[in-house]
Amino acid sequence: MNFLDSIWLIPLFPLAGAVVMLLLGRKLDPQVKAGHGPAPLKAVVSLLCPGTVLTSFVLSVGAVAQLAGLPEKVHQVVQFTWLAGLPFTAQNGGMARFAADWGFLLDPLSSVMILVVTGISFVIHVYSIGYMGHEGGYYRFFGYLNLFVFFMLMLVLANNYVLMFVGWEGVGLCSYLLIGFWFHKKSAADAGKKAFIVNRIGDAGFLLGLLLMFAVFGTARFLDVNQALASGRFTEETAGFGVLSAMALLLFIGATGKSAQFPLYVWLPDAMEGPTPVSALIHAATMVTAGVYMVARSNALFRLAPETSTIVAVVGAFTAILAASIALVQNDIKRVLAYSTISQLGYMFMACGVGAYWVAIFHLYTHAFFKALLFLGSGSVIHAMSGEQDMRRMGGLKDKIPITHGTMLVGTLAIAGIPGLAGFFSKDEILWQTFSNGATAVYVVGIITAGMTAFYMWRLMAMTFYGASRADAKVAAHIHESPRVMTVPLMVLAAGSILAGWIGVPKLWSALPDAFRAFEHWLAPALGAEQAQAAAEHAAGTEWLAMGLSVAVACLGIFVAWHFYQRRPEKADAVRRAAGPVYTTLLNKWYVDEIYDFLLVNGLAKGGGSALVSFDNRVVDGGVNGAGWLTRLSSTLSIWWDTWIIDGFVRLFSFSVKLSSYPVRILQTGSVQAYALVFVLGAVMIFGYYLTR
Amino acid sequence: MLHPITTLHYLVLSAALLLIGTAGVLARRNIVIILMSIELILNAVNINLIAFSRYFHSVNGQIFAIFVITVAVAEAAVGLGILIALFRNKETVQADEIELLKW
Amino acid sequence: MLTDTLLFYFFAAVTLGGGILTVTRKSAVHSAIALIASLLGVAGLFLLQQAEFLFAVQIVLYVGGVMVLFLFVIMLVNLDQAARERQFNKQWWLALACVLAVGAEVMYFLKKGAAAFRLAPSPAAATPGGPGNTQAIADVLFSEYLLPFEVASLLLLVAVVGSVIMAKKRI
């Protein structure tokens, strides 16, 4: 089978699953049919939806395998032209047309993405069968999840920015639907709204960048844009902020919204209101990485806009340390992981900012494994704790839920950057790239953040699994390991967290054959390999030193956490009290939400509300009143017209008759003699006529 | 003055009598006088007819004059009957007091 | 010849004078008498034109019938009150003017065409014992003009009936 030409099947299967759930789901919902044999029908959902994703995964594997066989690792399939617009003159002087295709592009970058998306999605689907098994709206959950996979695949497989934007919006929609899955809970509904609205702000930037792209290049297709950039017409804008930098910045604003960077990250912690599989899939592994993907896809553009790239790196670094600082003190297990996600995304943007795009994608790929693992593990913990999410009420779970503990330990070590696990390779490479490209400040921030990451992750482990149990007695009695349908995905992801990194080992480990660096080579055609050359210029010694430093920092972080939370827990309280205001600020997330609320939400709501009210009263009601007044006016005019002009005509006639009757009336004297006189007068006249003839 | 009397004289006479009668019809208020003036007019016509009958040596004029007299008699009779009826209803014989058809 | 002329002028004066008197008298009886005089004058004129039958008819019918009828009606209708009131109506001056205008025009016509009537009528060839005027009229009246004669009689019948009805107090 020609997988390459059937790329369109890859997103089709999840879409079909979503449509089936939409149309028939109610009949398959166990809650709806409570009482009579829901189990086989529930199984339909359980088999269908993960099955579609599995099919997509298999098709993706086939397509990627065939792609690898092509000499030029690019395969574009255009199904049809979707939006055909009017022609206009582009900045390059040529005639362009606002047109967007419904087309798919499979190249090394998108191939990595589809494998990650379908693979991780499948694992999480399987996990959800267990996690959401007793929830209402089972079919709805899987329908939304499938719909999300469809949109994500559209996003990564699109061959042009417009179709990508379709997927972009679609995943935002699914994120809203899934965050607010338990919509009867106000906090969940609000969180969904917040996510969508904050995303929207970023999307405005994306759209502007897209339109600017059309204006400058006349096209939005990736390959065409890259071609135009490489043609030499555009030079690197080192001298300042030019049109390319502006374009890149606008696109990056879109990425900030989607990938939760400062200042548009505020929705991600609130998004933890959704079910844990949602947090794992959308807000760890896939959706939030869409921004990174987009920047990597536009690498040709960003390379020519050094100002914007700097901004990207700085924003990434700032976000990373900000989020890590908040994660240090959070007590909700999922919140810690959410801020951790924001922080790791910051790392990815750091890498993009210094030009090491393949490293960003590498970190994206490894992060998908261990973050999904950590989230699913936390879900398992919550499931075991009968819904408890506050770590202060956990503890001592190590022996009670061993599989969960073991897999989460693997995930923690991976994210901390312990050598041998996946996180080490990708994070270390990022730090090395920032250092070797001269962004020293970014590097320092990255190192500090790495230490903080190790600290808060081990703190999480310590508070959750080790030490004495602080759980409620009733809850403690129910603690049980999750069913196999949930633990097997954990084990799969744990294996991935260990093994996934071994395809991107640093060149420094020259002992290993080049096959272990396959990731970089695979992505080189799509992302450019020059940066890799630049990195190699530094002395090997410096690199070993940097590597050692990052490992040391990670170990330090773990040690500090172990010390304060396992050896001497009371000291943690002492530090907390001593830190006082600092602690409170961190606990309250630097009051960013409150500032936004005050400045924007309330300001807009109040001011906008009163503005709208006065608008309604003056303009809208004024319009209606004005229409009423006009009607009365026109009726008055009509009355006047009718009374004076129309009736006037009639009265004029009658009046003229009356007027003309006056002289005529005089003739009617009633006197016969007068009539006789008229006879004689007539005779006079007749004679007179004959006289003068 | 002492010319021989020609038809013209009779015509002039007839015209004068006619005009006198007309003046009487138009100017008098008393209906009886009006009726008498009408008789004058008819007689003027008769004079005219006879004059021409003589002029043309034809007897037709005289025949016509007979009929004129007949009609005049009939009309006088009926007119006077109307007068009596009018006098009975209106107590007046003045023509200009009978103005029921006035606007 | 002379006699004719004089007689003509005499009868003309009577006719016209009687006419004027008829039109101008205040008392209706006076007017009636004047009218009788005028009618007699006309009768004389008829005679001068050798219309003997009409002369007779005029006197018998007109004077003896119509005028008597007039006088009866005058007596029947009390005209004393009318005699005290204004005699001429408001339009008398206009009437006079019109009449004079007509008169002027007629005179003008007659003057213009006077030449046509210069011929004096020739004396009628009256054979004594022969058919007279009456005979001549009768000859034509009952042969050629029979229909108008009958119609005239019908007219008279209508007039009789009409006048009777008009004059009745209650129909």
Residue A20 class from Cβ within 10 Å (0-12 exposed, 13-18 middle, 19+ buried)? buried
- Asked, for residue B68, whether it belongs to a domain, the answer is yes
List the structure tokens of A244.
């390319």
Q: Grade residue C84 by pLDDT with cuts at 50, 70 and 90.
A: confident
Residue A90: per-residue pLDDT: 61
Interchain CB distance below 8 Å, B78 and C163: yes
- Asked, for residue B4, whether it belongs to a domain, the answer is no
| Total tally of structural domains belonging to chain B | 1
Q: Is the peptide bond before A263 cis (omega within 30 degrees of 0)?
A: yes
**pLDDT per residue over A421-479, tens digit each?**
888 888 988 888 888 887 788 899 999 999 999 999 998 998 888 877 887 777 777 78
- Asked, for residue C27, whether it belongs to a domain, the answer is yes
Point out the least confidently predicted range of A54-63, A532-541, A583-592: A532-541
Q: Which chains touch C (3 or more CB pairs under 8 A)?
A: A, B
Residue B23: per-residue pLDDT: 94
**pLDDT per residue over A653-664, tens digit each?**
999 999 998 888
Report yes or no: A113 and A7 within 8 Å, Cβ to Cβ: no
Give yes or no for B86 touching A (CB within 8 A): no
Q: Grade residue C123 by pLDDT with cuts at 50, 70 and 90.
A: low
Q: What share of chain C is helix, strand, coil (3-state, %, to 5)?
A: 75, 0, 25
What are the backbone dihedrals phi and psi of residue A114, each rounded to the nearest 5 degrees, phi first?
-65, -35
Q: Is the domain of C137 the same as that of C77? A: no
- Across the interface, of A673, A683, A690, the residue whose CB is closest to C102 is A683
Q: What is the mean pLDDT of residues A241-252?
A: 87
Point out the least confidently predicted range of A85-94, A638-647, C136-145: A85-94
Interchain CB distance below 8 Å, A680 and C106: no
Report yes or no: C41 and C12 within 8 Å, Cβ to Cβ: yes
Residue A155: per-residue pLDDT: 93
| Total tally of structural domains belonging to chain C | 2
What is the largest distance, in Å, between two alpha-carbon atoms of chain C? 58
**pLDDT per residue over A105-130, tens digit each?**
888 888 889 999 999 999 999 999 88
pLDDT at A37 > cutoff 60? no
pLDDT at C31 > cutoff 80? yes
State the first-to-last Cα distance of chain C, in angstroms, to the nearest integer.
58
**pLDDT per residue over A555-612, tens digit each?**
888 888 888 887 777 777 777 777 777 777 777 778 788 888 777 777 777 777 777 7
Contacts of A94 (CB under 8 A, 6+ apart): A218
- Asked, for residue B83, whether it belongs to a domain, the answer is yes
Give the CA-trace dihedral at A328, A333, A336, A342, to 10 degrees: 180
Interchain CB distance below 8 Å, B103 and A665: yes
Interchain CB distance below 8 Å, B8 and C118: yes
Report yes or no: A252 and A263 within 8 Å, Cβ to Cβ: no
Interchain CB distance below 8 Å, A672 and B103: no
- Asked, for residue C80, whether it belongs to a domain, the answer is yes
- Across the interface, of C5, C15, C166, the residue whose CB is closest to B78 is C166
- Asked, for residue C35, whether it belongs to a domain, the answer is yes
Residue numbers in B near A665 (CB within 8 A): 103
Residue B1: per-residue pLDDT: 57
Residue C167: per-residue pLDDT: 81
State the first-to-last Cα distance of chain A, in angstroms, to the nearest integer.
123
Cα separation of A407 and A489, whole Å? 10
Q: Grade residue A89 by pLDDT with cuts at 50, 70 and 90.
A: low
What are the backbone dihedrals phi and psi of residue A36, each rounded to the nearest 5 degrees, phi first?
-115, 110
The CB density around residue A672, as the number of other CB atoms within 10 Å, is 16
Residue A641: per-residue pLDDT: 92
Supply angle C-alpha A327, A331, A333, rounded to 5.
Answer: 80
ipTM beyond 0.90? yes
Distance from CA of A651 to the nearest CA of B (A): 23
pLDDT at A636 > cutoff 90? yes
**pLDDT per residue over A539-554, tens digit each?**
677 778 888 888 888 8
Distance from CA of B60 to the nearest CA of A (A): 27
Residue C44: per-residue pLDDT: 95
pLDDT at A411 > cutoff 80? yes
Mean pLDDT rounded to a whole number for chain A? 84
A216-220, Cβ contacts within 8 angstroms, sequence gap of 24 or more: A216/A90, A216/A91, A216/A92, A216/A243, A216/A244, A216/A247, A217/A90, A217/A91, A217/A92, A217/A96, A218/A90, A218/A91, A218/A92, A218/A94, A218/A95, A218/A96, A218/A97, A219/A96, A219/A160, A220/A100, A220/A160, A220/A161, A220/A162
Interchain CB distance below 8 Å, A677 and C102: no
What's the sign of the alpha-carbon dihedral A400, A401, A403, A407? negative
Give yes or no for B93 touching A (CB within 8 A): no
Give yes or no for A683 touching C (CB within 8 A): yes
Point out the least confidently predicted range of A201-205, A226-230, A658-662, B36-40: A226-230
Q: At which residue do the structure tokens 């693979």 appear?
A: A119
Which residue, among C45, C78, C111, would best test binding to B if mutated, counting the most B CBs under 10 Å from its CB? C45
- Across the interface, of A677, A687, A690, the residue whose CB is closest to C91 is A677
Q: Which chains touch A (3 or more CB pairs under 8 A)?
A: B, C
Residue A20: per-residue pLDDT: 87
Residue A434: per-residue pLDDT: 86
State the first-to-last Cα distance of chain B, in angstroms, to the nearest integer.
52
What CATH number has the domain bearing residue C74?
Answer: 1.20.120.1200
Smallest CA–CA distance from B97 into chain A, residue: A671
Percent of chain C with pLDDT over 70: 91
- Asked, for residue B102, whether it belongs to a domain, the answer is no
- Asked, for residue C14, whether it belongs to a domain, the answer is yes
Contacts of A497 (CB under 8 A, 6+ apart): A366, A369, A370, A373, A410, A411, A414, A421, A422, A423
Residue span of the structural domain in which C37 resides? 1-84
What's the sign of the alpha-carbon dihedral A315, A321, A326, A331? positive
Q: Grade residue A510 by pLDDT with cuts at 50, 70 and 90.
A: low
HEC secondary structure over A205-266: HHHHHHHHHHHHHCCCEHHHHHHHHHCCCCCCCCCCCCHHHHHHHHHHHHHHHHCCCCCCCC
- Asked, for residue B24, whether it belongs to a domain, the answer is no
Q: At which residue do the structure tokens 């304060």 appear?
A: A564
**pLDDT per residue over C32-69, tens digit each?**
999 999 999 999 999 998 899 999 999 999 999 999 99
Q: What share of chain B is helix, strand, coil (3-state, %, to 5)?
A: 80, 5, 20
Which residue, among A672, A678, A681, A687, would best test binding to B if mutated, counting the most B CBs under 10 Å from its CB? A672
Distance from CA of C85 to the nearest CA of A (A): 18
Percent of chain A with pLDDT over 90: 28
Residue C66: per-residue pLDDT: 95
pLDDT at A363 > cutoff 60? yes
Q: What is the mean pLDDT of residues C86-103?
A: 89
A652-658, Cβ contacts within 8 angstroms, sequence gap of 24 or more: none
Cα separation of A626 and A639, whole Å? 20
Q: What is the mean pLDDT of residues A152-165?
A: 91
Interchain CB distance below 8 Å, A680 and B26: yes
Q: Which residues are registered as beta bridge partners of C150? A: none
pLDDT at A640 > cutoff 80? yes
C132-136, Cβ contacts within 8 angstroms, sequence gap of 24 or more: C132/C52, C133/B59, C133/B62, C133/C50, C133/C51, C133/C52, C133/C53, C134/C52, C134/C53, C136/B59
Q: Is the domain of C69 the same as that of C5? A: yes
- Asked, for residue C121, whether it belongs to a domain, the answer is no
Residue B103: per-residue pLDDT: 75
Cα separation of A476 and A386, whole Å? 9
- Asked, for residue C98, whether it belongs to a domain, the answer is no
- Note which residues in 34-63 of chain B have CB less than 8 A from chain A: 34
Residue numbers in B near A672 (CB within 8 A): 95, 98
Q: At which residue do the structure tokens 């043309």 appear?
A: B56
- Asked, for residue B71, whether it belongs to a domain, the answer is yes
- Asked, for residue B77, whether it belongs to a domain, the answer is yes
pLDDT at A30 > cutoff 60? no
Cα separation of A412 and A429, whole Å? 19
What CATH number has the domain bearing residue B34?
Answer: 1.10.287.3510
Q: What is the mean pLDDT of residues A269-291?
A: 86
Residues belonging to chain A with any Cβ–Cβ distance to chain B shorter than 8 Å: 665-666, 668-673, 676-677, 680
Mean pLDDT rounded to a whole number for chain C? 88
Interchain CB distance below 8 Å, A673 and B22: no
Residue span of the structural domain in which B59 resides? 30-93
Point out the least confidently predicted range of A491-495, A536-540, B36-40, C83-87: A536-540
Interchain CB distance below 8 Å, B55 and C92: no
What are the backbone dihedrals phi and psi of residue A83, each rounded to the nearest 5 degrees, phi first?
-110, 115
Residue C30: per-residue pLDDT: 93
Residue A310 class from Cβ within 10 Å (0-12 exposed, 13-18 middle, 19+ buried)? middle
Contacts of A262 (CB under 8 A, 6+ apart): A256, A315, A318, A319, A322
Q: Grade residue B18 by pLDDT with cuts at 50, 70 and 90.
A: very high
Q: Which residues are registered as beta bridge partners of A84? A: A99
